[in-house]
Amino acid sequence: MRLTEAHVRRVHREIADMGPPEGMTPATDADIGRFAAEIAAGAPEPSQVWLFAYGSLVWKPACAFVEMRTGTLRGWHRAFCLGWNTRWRGSTENPGLMLALDRGGSCNGVLYRLPPDAIAENLELVCRREMGVVPSPFPPRWVTVQTENGPYRAFAFCIDRNSGAYVSGLDDMQVADVLAKAVGSRGSMTEYLYLTVKHLEEMGVRDTHLWRLQELVAERIDALVE
């Protein structure tokens, strides 16, 4: 990888959490419980709840799990299409772009099986992190993931193209410009990209698009100090 921890340190800044942006409604505890119950209701078996991770959930699942395996989701692809983030990984000056699943293509990712005896509480942990506002711009849906052991039903977070948070039409150069600059209260987009690519690679998952982006982002950060 050309993008390194040194690049992450170079762009890091401490930024206070200013709360939800204007116009966004924070999810309540009741909302979180409802989201979790709706996901659980779609499971093929009550004790078999799998989460398909493709971005930050790869390296920070936000919940406990008892089994992990890699797999391919067809009909959806990983894309920096969730924007514009001005809180967690961006600011009003330099908004961030987050990963979500968008229609078309395919996506290699990681499956996590939630503990059968603690489904509800772990679903709530995932929902609390991924669905902090209502309505969610990338709601969960049940999908079929192909693995070396056959197909598995899992829930994954997929972009709602009609949410107002859907971003499309950017080329790799434009996306890299965003990822090299945006920093929020949870860290930088550079860190987000670095950790995602690094952990996917460690799991034997090569995403050629993300690999190209990490090279482009590293070039931009290097150019700032030359």
Give me 84's structure tokens: 């514009």
Contact call for residues 3 and 194 (beta carbons, < 8 A): yes
202 SS3 class: helix
Contact 15, 184 (CB under 8 A): yes
**In the annotation, is 121 catalytic?**
no
CA angle 82, 187, 57 (to 5 degrees): 55
Q: Please state, in angstroms and rounded to a whole number, the distance separating the CA atoms of residues 191 and 11.
A: 9
Rounded distance, CA 91 to CA 197, Å?
23
From 45, 130, 148, 191, the catalytic residue: 130
Contact at 8 Å (CB) between 109 and 205?
A: yes
Active site members:
130
